[in-house]
Every structure is written in structure tokens, then in C-alpha cells.
Structure 1
Amino acid sequence: MNAITFTERAATLQAAYQALLETEPKLRARERAKRLDVSEAELVAAQCGVTATPLAGTAQEIFRELPTLGEVMVLSRNDWCVHERHGEYEQVDAEKGIGLVLGKDLDLRMFFSMWKSYFTVVEGERRSVQFFDGAGVAIHKVYLTEHSNIAAFDAISAKFAAPEATWPHISAYPIDETPNQPEDAAALRESWLALTDTHGFFPMLRKHKVSRLGALQAAGNDLAQAVAIDATETMLQAAAASSLAIMCFVGNRGIVQIHSGSVQKLLRTGPWYNILDPKFNLHLNTEAIASCWVVNKPTSDGWVTSLEVYAADGELIVQFFGVRKPGVPELPEWRALLESLCSTPLAK
């Protein structure tokens, strides 16, 4: 796309964007993109409501600069759940296709093959670094706070600024045609019972060519059990009341963002059930929940249980564990809490 075509396309989108703002000013960026039938990356590229600098280089190169920003608020989400965490990028491993961030506050798993376009963004007083996938959907956003290093943000903008603006190449992802039933449910169950680490679960799904939800439905109630649709609220209220430390995983195609610790302030706002703590916010659209499951996996440290929440299309919305580290057994209080959600016993 040449410069003139880019300018014309951006101007057309800006006009549509302004018209939408006049009628519905409170929409979030993701909702505005849907209303305008474009991707969020295209809204940013067209400078709709923001001043954006497109970035060149690889996502890994940019990611390795993020520790210079100091304390930030990082946001990762899917269509139904938003995960926000305050902290600093401490231990960053972003050399290969799969990356890792570890620290006392930030815990991330990045799948960089999905990261396709990147920008530094200024919206009023808010500054952020934003990463998008090939469909133009936001993977990860890094917002500066009052404690962040603005000079470092400007340095990232200058170091990686693309020589010219180009329109994001947007392409829809193919429909996932993974079967929802295993060819051999008994063989799947045998593989499940042979697990020694929770990280072996995804390779097991690939081996048996079955979707995650399909595996839960086929495994048997002692390994995966459907529970009440409001199980997440029940669990969070109990965890908050007892100061039980939990882990909360929210992911999309390009990242999984994790919170570890207790939760305190819970609040419902319309369809959204929220955790509103100083360093951790979660916003879960409970109207999107189609099913909740208690999932039970054997490991070398004993059984590990999780609460998994699914949308109507079978996509995983959010996942909860009790806080634990490899080599350490699951918290008995967490196990008891999840067992209390179940109508029949779990394997042990």
C-alpha cells in the first residue's frame, strides 16, 4: 500500500471513528473496532483517537527493552476476560519463539510467532506499548504509571520507530477444526492418568487429536467434572474470605498472563465480575460463561486441581489453581475448596 492510499484509508477510518464517538463515547477500543468492522490494530495504525508510532524489529527485541520502563500496568485479555497486573519486568527471556517473564509481580508466557504488529501509543496522558496478532487483535498492552520511566518509553519509540507507516496486514485465523471427541476415550484416559506434570496436558491433547473441552467431557468425572455455572464466584468469595492464595491464568493466541496471590475486593458490575485489588484487577464477563469444570491431573507432586471456565465456542476463558511451585504439593485448602464444588468424588 503506497503512502497516498495509506493516508486516504486512515482518513476514512478516522471519520467513521469520530462519528461513532459522537453516538457512543464510552465504548472500549476493542468494541469500537467491532462496530467499525475493522481490527483494533487498524484503529491504532490510523491514529484513531491516539498518536501511534509503528515499530519495526521483532517482538522479542522490543520485549527485551520493557524492563527499562520500571513499574507498569500490563494487560492481556481475550474476548471475555481482562487480566491487569502492576509490576516490573524483571527476568525476561525473549530470545526464541516462546518467551518467559518471571518476577515477584509479573508472570508471563509469550508465543511470539503470533505477534505481528507493534506500536508505542499516546492517548491524552496515557502512554503504552501495544502488541497485536495477525488478525489485528491485541495480545498484550503495557501501560505506563506514575512510577514509570517516561524517558525509557521515548527511547523505545525512537529506537524501533518504523521508517514509514504501513497498514497492518490483517488476515483471519482459520477455524480450529480439532475434533471435540477423542478417537479412543479409554486411551485418552490412560494418557491422562500417566501424566507427571501439568505441562504435559497440551501435548496429550495433540497426541489424541482432541480439543481441550472435548478431553474434559471424555475423561470421566473423577478427572474432569462439570460444576455450577457460578462456580468462579463461589470459589473467589471463599478464597477472599480465607485469604487463600490462588493463581489466575488468562490467555489469548499470543500470551498467558498469570497472577499469584490472595484476592480481596470482589465486585459485580452488570455482567462483569471483578477483582479490584491494588496490583491485580480481573474483569470476567459472566454472561459469556457456558460451562465450568473442576479438572484433576496427576503429577509427580501429587494431584493438582484447577477450575476452568469455557465460552460457548469451547474456548478457555480463565483458569484458576492454588498457588504452588514445581516440587511442592498442592495446597490442601485449595483442593478442599474445589472438591466442595463437585457433586461426585475426584480421583486421589
Structure 2
Amino acid sequence: MDVRHPRQAVMSISPDDPEPMYRIGTVSRLTGIATVTLRMWERRYNVVDPGRSSGRNRLYSRDDIARLALIKRLVDAGHSISTVAGLTLVQLHERLEVQEKPRQLAALPVRVLTPVRVAVLGDALPARIARAGSELAGLAIVASQRERARFLADAPAQEPQVLVIEVPALGPETAAGVEELRQACGARHVVIVYGFGRRATVAKLDTAYSTPLRAPVGMAELRIACRAGLGVAALPLPERQPVDLTPSPDGIPQRRYDTDTLERIAASTPTLACECPHHLVDLVAGLSAFEDYSAQCENRSPEDAALHHWLRATTAQARALMEEALTRVAEAEGLLR
């Protein structure tokens, strides 16, 4: 977000092009996708290929906006961006139609605040999950095995609501094997952590009863997938002390988040229908940018220098408060790890 130069919302690449082209800020408002997320999706997944103005600013077409809006709806519904980024418009519409059909779940939703009972089967995941601790808050690991036979002997008696199954690769028999385990354990949802698989196979496993996650998977992402699979809201936050605005020796509060962390939070899918994490990332990034800008401004006099230092310090305090807000929301949504 550039706070220094106001820009037109719509323009064309050339006078001969009658189709209006939209700048990234306008696209963000139209689609609900944070600008940080848009840039990351383009860089990592090539979701769209926007044009460029003479000043190298991104310019999006109406088709780009329509495509991004569909992808946003699917991601908000729980689909991984990696599974939908390469789909055509027709495929996106088909996926959305399937997503929005009424679903008959195996049982009523569990009560809010009730930990989700999870059983784990895999080679490496059981050990990782055992070390996760508070990163998996809101989950109760009731069974964890590396061998299928032992898992089937142990897990059904624990009445898990969600299974987490780790497989090195997805094959033609994966879906049937996963469904067999789900029914044997009486679980309502399965999270499949896989190493490799064809896009078509991944798409078939992305259903009301199963969620595919490409390895390596973080514990926060796993927690969200397990809870979102049952439609369970986040657990309440513990009481917090007021944010510490004690400045560093130069009068500026220290920053909590680097650019990579902000991008990761912006790219995550909240468990609730809420865009607060994305908007807060934009606010923190914008305040940080202006903080840096005010520190670099030319000073014509000592008074000018004092004014810019005050601007920087004031902006830094606002940034620290918004970082605290982002931390609370991100913890509630399980987006930090």
C-alpha cells in the first residue's frame, strides 16, 4: 500500500484500448482480497497475469477481477489456493456449484468451545503433533499411530470427529482408502496431508467430508483445517495485558512482524466469514511504509527534522497498536505458528 501518492482507480493501458483497467487497490476493494495477498498469489501461483502501466503499476481487466472473485469465494469456503489457482473459469464455476450445493453432514455441528477430537495416522506427523503443544489449541489428540492396523485397533474406540491421515502420494485408491478409515472410525471429516498428487486427484478429495493439504503443513494450518471441517468457531482468547508502547532508545516501538509473516497471515483463510486479518495486515503494512517514508524525508531545517521525527514516532505507536490488534485476531483464528 502506497500512502504517498493518490492514484486513479481506473485507467486503460493505452488510449486505443476501450476496456477499463483497474489498479490493485480497486481490485482489492472489489474482490475483498488484501493487496498483499494479491501480490503473493500472482508471484507464487500465477492466479492472473495483470498488465502494466507505463509506471509499472499492475492493471487488471474485468476478466481478471471475475476470476479473482471466484477464487476468493472458493478459498473462503476452505479450498487451498494451490488447488484452485490453475483452474479455468469454467472449472472454477463448476467447483463453486459443487461447493454451494446443500451438504448432508453425518451429525449436528459440535458446540462452540468444545475441543475437536482428532485421530492421527502417518509416518512423520504423529511425532510433530506430539511436539506442537499450544499450537494445536482447540484440538484433542485422542489417537496417534504410524501403522494402519494399530490405528484401526485403537482409534474407533476413541470416537474421533476428525482424522488426520498422512500419505506420501495420492493415487487412484486413496479416496476409497480414506473413506474406509473415516467410516471405520465414525469420523465426520478427514484431513489428508499428502506429498505429491495429480491436480485432478486433489480436486476429487476436496469435499464436504475431506480436506487435502499439501505437505509440508504448519500446525496452525492443520488446526484450522480440523476445526473448519466441522464448522467450529475459534476458542476465546485469554486475557491480555495492555500493549507495551515503551519506545526503543530512538523513541520508536519495535516491530513485531516482518514482511514474510504479514504475507503468510494475509494468505491464510480465517475460520470465520471475516476479513479482519487481511485488512489488519494492510493497515500494519501501510503504517510501516509511512513510518519508513517519514524517516527518509528531506529536512530543510531543525524544525523540519523534529516534525518528521514526531511523524515517525506517532505512526510507529499507531503501528504498534494495530500489530496488537492483528496478534489478537490472528491468534483467535489460529493463523500464527
Same fold (TM over 0.5): no
Q: TM-score if structure 1 supplies the norm length? A: 0.24
TM-score (norm. length: structure 2): 0.25
Larger Rg over CA atoms = 2
Whose strand proportion is higher, 1 or 2?
1
